[in-house]
Amino acid sequence: MEPEIIIRTQGRAGILTLNRPKALNALTHGMCLATEEALTAWRDDPAVEVVILEARGDRAFCAGGDIAQVTAAGRRGDYAMGRDFWRDEYRMNLMLSRYDKPIVSFMNGFVMGGGVGYGCHVAHRVVGETTQMAMPECGIGLIPDVGGTWLLSRAPGQLGLYLALTAARMGPGDAIHAGFADRFIPEAEWDAAKTRLIDTGDPASLPSHPAPDSPLAAEQARIDALFSGATVPAILAALEADDGALAATALKAMRRNSPLSMASSLAMLRPGPASLAEALAQEFRWTWRSMEHGDFIEGVRAQILDKDRNPKWRHAAPAEVTSAETEAMLAPLGADELALE
């Protein structure tokens, strides 16, 4: 049986290859722990000068976290499995961002949720022509986590809120415009680029190409206007009053989402966290409560397990969510707070 993640050194590089292509390289708890272990070992290894993050298969770098087991346990009333997974995953996200050797991620195909957390906090983030990036958590009763609220809060204007509330997909140009990636390299050149990294240990060896056009950049002014409302109902009202295609698509997406998740996402993005560590700590408070007090279990049931696409959210409409409820989801956890230092 092949490992879920292939860990090896070659030349001057440490290489982590996500190896679940049939599952779109969905991230498991074990893969997070193995990544942390490898990074810890390579930190003091003088032979490793650069770390490469990549994935097997053409369809996805990583389409998210593997939440089937977490949800199954949660339905039995066992919330510990999910909380342990998120705790270790978030610690790994921060480790990737703070690593004192350069890390280069090559993100092809689907890059969603946990895949964003794996590949988008590192120093050098490469996308290609097949890249499709998104934060679709509100659709399964979660919030953009794995440091997603940090990335989204730093996107231009209201773009981060738009991405959080609509799960809109970003192509390579959009990902660079939104601050989720740094560099476009045509995928036909990726093998050669990795070989140069292995030979030199130097990210400066990466080729330079112009970023593709960003459709979202072209819509930035409209997105800023439509998503400037102070509440989710205010944003929905602005969308309903607009007869453009972007508003219609956004409205359709938001009407499918968990009202509690959307209200909480808005609260987390305004004014936004001061650091990635603060974002992860805040996200953990929410995900820690997500199965018992949120819509996560029902969202996964409806969208992923039963696939009836008919979730019964705790709130029938966004207007029913109170600020007290979002504050309660984000309240400190006391002894259960996420310890990152």
> Letter for the amino acid at 59?
R
- End-to-end alpha carbon distance in the chain: 35
Is 145 tagged catalytic? Answer: yes
Catalytic residue among 65, 82, 119, 141: 65
Is 137 tagged catalytic? Answer: yes
338 by Cβ neighbours in 10 Å (0-12 / 13-18 / 19+) ranks as buried
**What is the Cα Rg of the chain in Å?**
19
Please indicate, yes or no, whether the overall pTM of this predicted structure exceeds 0.95.
Answer: yes
Catalytic residue among 114, 139, 160, 171: 114
Q: Which helix (H) or strand (E) holds 196?
A: helix 190-200
Alpha carbon distances (Å) from 324 to 266, 267, 331? 14, 11, 10
> Letter for the amino acid at 259?
P
Per-residue pLDDT tens listing for the chain (341 residues) = 899 999 999 999 999 999 999 999 999 999 999 999 999 999 999 999 999 999 999 999 999 998 888 998 999 999 999 999 999 999 999 999 999 999 999 999 999 999 999 999 999 999 999 999 999 999 999 999 999 999 999 999 999 999 999 999 999 999 999 999 999 999 999 999 999 999 999 999 999 999 999 999 999 999 999 999 999 999 999 999 999 999 999 999 999 999 999 999 999 999 999 999 999 999 999 999 999 999 999 999 999 888 999 999 999 999 999 999 999 999 999 999 999 87
DSSP annotation string for 276-333? HHHHHHHHHHHHHHHHHHSSHHHHHIIIIIS-------SSSSGGG--HHHHHHHTS--
Strands 5-10 and 13-18, sheet pairing: antiparallel
> Letter for the amino acid at 73?
A
Catalytic residue among 145, 182, 219, 295: 145
pLDDT score for 193: 98
pLDDT score for 41: 98
Cβ atoms within 10 Å of 129's Cβ, excluding its own: 14
pLDDT score for 254: 98
> Letter for the amino acid at 69?
Q
Structural domains in the chain, sorted by start: 5-336 (3.90.226.10)
Is 65 tagged catalytic? Answer: yes
pLDDT score for 265: 98
CA dist., res. 45 & res. 42, Å (int): 5
* The pair of three-digit structure tokens given for residue 231, joined into one six-digit string: 């509440």
Catalytic residue among 49, 54, 137, 174: 137
